[in-house]
Amino acid sequence: MLTESTTVRRTGVAGCAARKASGFTLLELLVVMVIIGLLVGYVAPRYFQQVGKSEVKMAQAQIESLQKALDIYRLDTGQYPTTEQGLKALVERPPNEPRWAGPYLTKGVPMDPWGRPYLYRHPGERSELDLTSLGKDGRPGGTGEAADITNR
């Protein structure tokens, strides 16, 4: 005949055995950590390479957008803004510019994807005007993601 204390004791022992069977050993956890580490080591470089490419594409798209806004500015005023006026002329009326019909950008002049201002020069060295982002490194020249991104 089972008493209440015997039943509790057996349940307690069975519950304890069930808890031990449901846990993971240190070896199993280490194997899982190694597998996760290998996956991260394989996937992370490919992921961050794509991020770099998308920043370059974003800079190219912003330069194209700025170029179009500058072209509309020129249609309205008959000339591009001077280097001194800069891209600010797309959002604020320059002094002595009566035919200005802006603003030509709805959200202001954007920064490049790396948080630096675009360089504007009129007249340009490569074309009538130069729009440039110095790339990821912020210095002239460079290769890959650090290469300069220009309108021409």
Q: Is the dihedral of CA 17, 23, 28, 29 positive or negative?
A: negative
Check residue 3 and give its pLDDT: 56
- d(CA 147, CA 137) in angstroms, rounded, equals 8
Check residue 44 and give its pLDDT: 74
Cis peptide bond upstream of 103, omega within 30 = yes
Check residue 42 and give its pLDDT: 79
What's the pLDDT tens digit per position in 46-89?
766 666 678 888 999 999 999 999 999 999 999 999 999 999 99
Check residue 38 and give its pLDDT: 85
Element (H, E) at 120: strand 119-121
Neighbours of 8 (CB within 10 A): 10
Check residue 27 and give its pLDDT: 86
- d(CA 92, CA 104) in angstroms, rounded, equals 9
Residue 135 near residue 147 (C-beta atoms within 8 A): yes
Check residue 91 and give its pLDDT: 93
Spans of the chain, pLDDT less than 70:
1-21, 47-52
| SS3 at position 117 | strand
Check residue 118 and give its pLDDT: 94
